[in-house]
Amino acid sequence: MAPFHQVLRTFRERAGISAYRLARLGNVNSAYIYRMERPGGQIPRRDLLNSLISALELGELDSERLLVAAGYCPDVVSRLGTWDETLGIVANVLADKSLSDEDREEFRQIIRAVASRWMSSD
């Protein structure tokens, strides 16, 4: 996973907006955006990060990526209301350094295939 400053800058550049414009849309000082995009830069409070997510018009997956890069719990996990042991199992498998990238990808594919049975098609 890329560090927060890189993820934020990538999403801002992909949106085609300047740091100054993002600051205006997020209702913060542009210097703060520059500090966040600097290596080892500041991590904003979650409410400000949510404002930036809205300003960048990020979809759910990219929003979760930015939240996690900032060290916050993804909204999808928060909506559970509690920790689910199954999430821990999945996270432990994906974090297992002894697995190859191919094994990890195969695990992801299996999880997606099983989960697709219950996922809504909204």
- Claim to verify: residue 53 and residue 102 sit in the same structural domain: no
Residue 9: pLDDT band by 50, 70, 90 thresholds?
very high
pLDDT at position 101, please? 95
Same domain flag for 10 and 60:
yes
Q: What is the CATH number of the domain that holds 67?
A: 1.10.260.40
Residue 83 DSSP SS3: coil
Examine the domain organization and report whether 8 and 46 are in the same domain: yes
Best CA proximity match to 52, nearest among 26, 16, 20:
26
| 14 part of a folded domain | yes
* Residues 88-116, mean pLDDT to the nearest whole number: 94
The pLDDT value recorded for residue 114 is 94
Q: Does 52 fall in a domain? A: yes
Q: What is the mean pLDDT of the chain?
A: 92
Q: Is residue 109 part of a domain?
A: yes
Domain encompassing residue 100: 85-115
Domain-embedded: residue 80:
no
Does a structural domain hold residue 24?
A: yes
The pLDDT of residue 68:
94
What's this model's pTM, rounded to 2 decimal places? 0.77
State how many domains the chain has. 2
Dig out the tokens for 110 from the structure. Answer: 């299996």
Task: Please report the beta strands in the chain, taking only residues with DSSP state E, as ranges in sequence order.
Answer: none
- Looking at residue 35, its amino acid is R
The answer, yes or no, to whether residue 115 has pLDDT greater than 80, is yes
What pLDDT score does 122 carry?
A: 54
What's the CA gap between 25 and 22, in Å, rounded?
A: 5
Note whether residue 8 is domain-resident: yes
Question: Looking at the domain assignment, is residue 121 inside a domain?
Answer: no
Q: CA distances (Å), 67 to each of 3, 64, 70, 108, 111, in order?
A: 11, 5, 5, 21, 22
- The DSSP letter of residue 73 is P
Encode pLDDT of 12-59 as tens digits: 999 999 999 999 999 999 999 999 999 988 999 999 999 999 999 999
What pLDDT does residue 121 have?
62
